[in-house]
Chains A and B, each alone.
Chain A
Amino acid sequence: AQSVAQPEDQVNVAEGNPLTVKCTYSVSGNPYLFWYVQYPNRGLQFLLKYITGDNLVKGSYGFEAEFNKSQTSFHLKKPSALVSDSALYFCAVRDSSSGGSYIPTFGRGTSLIVHP
């Protein structure tokens, strides 16, 4: 079975400060990991993904995420937050093993609030 957890419902950060949104996962095989962002009254937008290779993945809008296999984590990061980054962020996982589910499992989402 595959699962994903986003331990924080909300993250608050001041503009200009670095931000981290946490995600941990559980799969039987190797994970395919995704981050999505949802702005108010919009659909989810793809930010970045980890498939294989370099543990540091760079994505849209200056975001990056670090895959850590030993800690089963895939935290989303940005060096300097903008007020416009305020949104809901979702982590998702698929299990690449033959017994893994075709359907991705989403976390419950983390609300990021960036204060001016």
Chain B
Amino acid sequence: NAGVTQTPKFQVLKTGQSMTLQCAQDMNHNSMYWYRQDPGMGLRLIYYSASEGTTDKGEVPNGYNVSRLNKREFSLRLESAAPSQTSVYFCASSYRDLHNEQFFGPGTRLTVL
């Protein structure tokens, strides 16, 4: 039982390049989330998927797109990376009910030059 896995762990991009961050969970959770974490800003929600087949914007969706590929996988795409997207990205998953805690992946540290 691997929990939530993310790839890659580290990535350096040049401004304008694109990339996809991958996330998978093996806990049969309905809901999945993408957050970014910046110093002094806490966690900010980018996009989430309440259940397979649905995605919704979070607090900071601009410059990102997501795909809920199936129940297990939820990917985050940067179409044209900008230095402001330098951050640590976390994927999380949970059962859908409100009282359920989230399980987080180990994170992807992204630097955009």
Contact residues of A with B, CB < 8 Å? Answer: 32, 34, 36, 41-46, 49, 51, 90, 94, 96, 100, 102-104, 106-109
Contact = CB atoms under 8 A, between A and B. Distances in A.
B42 A46 contact: no
B25 to A, nearest CB: 12
A32 to B, nearest CB: 5
Given A43-B4, A43-B90, A103-B48, A108 B102 contact: no
Contacts of B40: 108
A106 B43 contact: yes
Interface string B12-48: 0000000000000000000001000000111101001
Q: Which of B42, B90, B107 has the most CB of A within 10 A?
A: B42
Q: Is the interface of A mostly helix, strand, loop or mixed?
A: loop
Given A42-B106, A43-B107, A44-B104, A96 B98 contact: yes
